[in-house]
Amino acid sequence: MGTAALEMLAAESLAPPAPGEDRRITRSKRALRGALIALIEERGLDAITVNDLCERADLNRGTFYNHFHDKENLLTALENEVLAEVALLQARMQSVTLGDMLAFRVAGRPVPVLVDLFEYLRGESDFLRAVLGSGGDVRFGPRLREAVCENLVQNILHEKYRTNPTPFVCYYVAFYASAYLGIIARWVENGCPETPEEMARIAMRLLFITPGEPIEL
């Protein structure tokens, strides 16, 4: 999915309220977000009903239906919010080259946009832990992988492979993109014990490590 398409998702998200939005509406949406996250972790997405969400959020059904058609609509709005925010980082990620990565590695510094990415993901870790977990939404992982991981890997490819990828290059991108999604999922599942700076260094190091080499940061 391209950057423009992802930015359009913001219109359907639970992003910060627009100027003039009633604070009660904002509180209601936040309460539903918290209720959805808690219930996914407790019961799994499939077992949740709108009644469950309203009871947990201490809202009536009318309030829920003023904003969302059903639980899937609420979930999609939350997922779109994450992807819309990621889209804002994509332009910066697209400017990062392999040379930039190597230069930062030699200097012992993480790539700034990776630090910002992991900072944002840490802020959304409660939601990500729920939807990427066993009781969450199986559709979201591939969307996050495409929005974050595939774009990052493609950016550091040699230009000839970015413009005319071979089947093997496509498998290469898929391999590393899935690996990076696994890194994100493990990090949020464990409660984000490493800082965004540490995770940015880990992400960089794993990209360049070779079989048989000491596994050290």
CA within 13 Å, CB half, 139: 6
Q: Which of 171, 109, 178, 106 is nearest to 141 (CA)?
A: 178
Tokens describing residue 119: 């900072």
Mean pLDDT of the region 180-203: 95
The DSSP 8-state label assigned to residue 145 in this structure reads I
Confidence of residue 91 (pLDDT cuts 50, 70, 90): confident
Whether 108 has a pLDDT exceeding 70, the answer reads yes
Whether 4 has a pLDDT exceeding 50, the answer reads no
Contacts of 187 (CB under 8 A, 6+ apart): 118, 121, 193, 194, 199
Contacts of 158 (CB under 8 A, 6+ apart): 98
CA distance 136 to 39: 10
pLDDT at 95: 77
| Residues 187, 194 contacting (CB under 8 angstroms) | yes
Confidence of residue 21 (pLDDT cuts 50, 70, 90): low
Please state whether the predicted TM-score (pTM) of the whole model is above 0.85: no
Mean pLDDT of the region 131-155: 89
Whether 122 has a pLDDT exceeding 70, the answer reads yes
Contacts of 17 (CB under 8 A, 6+ apart): 23, 25, 26
Mean pLDDT of the region 132-156: 88
CA distance 189 to 191: 5
Mean pLDDT of the region 110-115: 90
Alpha helices in 44-166 (DSSP H): 50-57, 61-67, 71-94, 98-107, 112-123, 125-132, 140-144, 151-155, 159-163
pLDDT at 98: 76
Mean pLDDT of the region 155-167: 73
Whether 46 has a pLDDT exceeding 80, the answer reads yes
Place of tokens 């949406």: 29
Whether 162 has a pLDDT exceeding 80, the answer reads no
- Mean pLDDT over all residues of the chain? 85
Mean pLDDT of the region 35-62: 96
Q: Count CB neighbours of 191 within 10 A.
A: 10
Q: Tell me the backbone φ, ψ of residue 182, rounded to 5 degrees.
A: -60, -35
